[in-house]
Amino acid sequence: MKIDIVILSNGPGELVTWARPVVQQLRQQTNKEIRISVILSPCPHATGKEAAIALSYPEIDRVQPAEYFWRFLLQGKTAENWHWHPQGIVLFLGGDQFFTVAVGKRLGYRTVIYAEWDARWWRWIDKFGVMKPEVAAEVPSKYAEKFTVVGDLMAEVTSTGLTQINLENTICRGEWHSPSLDLVSMRKSCRDINLPTTEENIVELIGLLPGSKPTKLSLGVPLTLAIAQHLHKVRPQTRFIIPVAPTLELSTLASFADSRKNPAVQKMGGVEAKLLIPPDSETENPKLVTPTGLEVELITRTPAYDILSQCRLCLTTVGANTAELGSLAIPMIVLLPTQQLDIMRAWDGLPGLLANLPGVGAAFAAGINWLVLRKGKLFAWPNIWAKQEIVPELVGKLTPETVAELVLDFLSHPEKLAEMRDRLRSVRGQSGAAQKLAEIVLSLASEINREQHKS
């Protein structure tokens, strides 16, 4: 019997780190005829290209963009008037868990929720896959059978291909001497960023993650470039990369390093840069180049986990990137510059809606940010998971010199970076969640089939 699997998701982070490994497992684990549809809901972190990202996954059959979500929820029809099989399963992988209840009722389908930190609506949901046992601890015992500990979907980042990447990193650092491996293939990741592969010429790599949306890029790009320039003066062996979001054009990224287009450049250290496109893009990456000669390589292939895993430290803004870095156990410093209090508008729920209202949104954003910053809220996902600061969060009118001093302290004390890596590993769940979550969904599909045969 044909089955529809409807995945509810919302932002780019959820699509990359949650939806992708799950749909891969769904296709790998079944030969039955299933149709996988993705319905996107509105998200304050959305870039507008989420539908294109989802459609790029070959396992997904069809995608509805977020702008049609409310009409579908209210009227029960998609923008393209999709046909639905009589039986199916709604799988929550991002957004509001209540949408799972509503869409499940609308379509008459079974429901599954992946719950990372909290599980809701357990009276009306058929199955839950949770990251840790603690997520189900507050649920009444009569609903306990609905819950299965599947592990951490974010940890799929580290379980799919990073064993190979870790070996490549060892080669890159000049620490592997076994003649039994194909060194040519193992050095590929190093060549991607032209890292030297001998101990004599070792360099250190620092990742810069200024964000993907204009509100973050306007401050993040000039600030991280200014920090990199200070670091480069002291440690000329240091190399810098920016993993470019797939939704971001290189020319757009470069415009935030141009004071004529971005007035915040002068507020954040005054370091400008121009985009340099190499003549041979097969062997060399694009770069942002400053007048002093600092080069920051732009990594355009995604996800760039292999190269990120080589970084000794990353400088990042808040958002899903802190979750990805945390799951990779990459030490990071989180930057929240407040030179423009209205700049941070990426809040969830009602605060996000108010902060993005036309005309008055800037005033709401400034007020919300002022209140939040006064409360001392944790912003980075690893700190939220741990309920304490395990990666530094620098909040305020940040100067490149101050941040650079902290980075230099970490680089000079590798034991501090090692401790941060260990603490990052400790706060996440186990890997293998995508496989186990797919098994839950497919077991429901088998149950549906058995019920149909009996009837």
Given its phi and psi angles, is residue 43 left (phi above 0), alpha (psi -120 to 50 degrees) or beta?
beta
Do 110 and 175 have their domain in common? no
Where in the sequence is the domain holding 83, given as residue range(s)? 3-152+430-454
pLDDT band at 381 (very low <50, low <70, confident <90, very high): confident
Pair of tokens at residue 181: 């491996």
Q: Give the model's pLDDT for residue 106.
A: 94
Range picked from 111-115, 128-132, 183-187, 340-344 for highest mean pLDDT:
111-115
Tens digits of residue pLDDT in 40-78: 998 876 778 889 989 999 999 999 999 999 999 998 899
Structure tokens at 356: 């993005």
Q: For position 197, what pLDDT does the model report?
A: 43
pLDDT of 350 strictly over 70: no
- One domain for residues 131 and 164: no
Query: Which has the closest alpha carbon to 294: 216, 331, 241?
Result: 241
Query: Considering the chain, what percentage of its residues have pLDDT values greater than 70?
Result: 80
Q: What is the pLDDT of residue 297?
A: 96
pLDDT above 90 covers what percent of the chain? 54
Neighbouring residues of 409: CB distance < 8 A, sequence distance ≥ 6: 416
Give residue 249's Cα distance to chain centre.
18
Give the pLDDT band of residue 334 (cuts 50, 70, 90).
very high
Pairing verdict, β 287-289 and 274-276: antiparallel
404: which 2 tokens?
């650079």
pLDDT digits (tens, 9 = 90+) for 130-154: 988 888 888 999 999 999 999 988 7
Q: What is the pLDDT of residues 205-228, one digit of tens each?
A: 999 999 888 888 999 999 999 999
| Mean model confidence pLDDT for the chain | 82
345 and 323, same domain (yes or no): yes
Listed residue (356, 434, 419, 348) closest to 384, CA to CA: 348
Task: Identify the helix (H) or strand (E) that includes residue 34.
Answer: strand 34-40
Residue 357: the pLDDT is: 52
15 within 8 A of 47, measured Cβ to Cβ: no
Q: What are φ and ψ of residue 98, in 5° steps?
A: -60, -30
DSSP lists the bridge partners of residue 209 as 316
What's the confidence (pLDDT) of residue 303? 73
Same domain, 118 and 75: yes
CA distance 95 to 102: 13
Identify whether residues 386 and 400 lie together within a single domain. Answer: yes
Rounded distance between C-alpha atoms, residue 58 and residue 386, angstroms: 35
Query: Three-state DSSP class for 40?
Result: strand
Composition of the chain by helix, strand, coil, percent to 5: 45, 15, 40
pLDDT at 71: 93
Question: Cα separation of 110 and 164, whole Å?
Answer: 38
How far apart are the C-alpha atoms of 9 and 21, rounded to whole Å? 13
- Please check whether residues 373 and 242 belong to one and the same domain: yes
384 and 278 co-located in one domain: yes
Q: What pLDDT is attached to residue 188?
A: 41
Strand partners, 315: 208, 333
Indicate whether 420 and 435 sit together in one domain. no
Q: Kindly state the tokens that stand for 62.
A: 């069809």
Q: Do residues 86 and 99 both lie within one domain? A: yes
pTM listed for this prediction: 0.66
Same domain, 143 and 75: yes
Do both 388 and 360 map to the same domain?
yes
pLDDT at 157: 62
Helix (H, G, I), strand (E, B) or coil at 161: coil
E strands, 210-331, where? Answer: 239-243, 274-276, 287-289, 295-299, 313-316
- Compute the distance between CA of residue 423 and CA of residue 417 in angstroms, rounded to an integer: 10
DSSP for 79-144?
Answer: TT-----SSEEEEE-SS-THHHHHHHHHHT-EEEEEESS----TTT-SEEEESSGGGGTTS-GGGG
From CA 5, how far away is CA 162, in angstroms rounded? 29
Could you tell me the CATH number of the domain that includes residue 100?
Answer: 3.40.50.2000
pLDDT on residue 439: 95
Q: State residue 425's pLDDT score.
A: 86
The Cα 201–Cα 196 span in angstroms is 6
Instruction: Give the pLDDT confidence of 252-267 residue by residue, as tens digits.
Output: 999 999 999 999 999 9
The number of distinct structural domains making up the chain is 2
168 and 130 share one domain: no
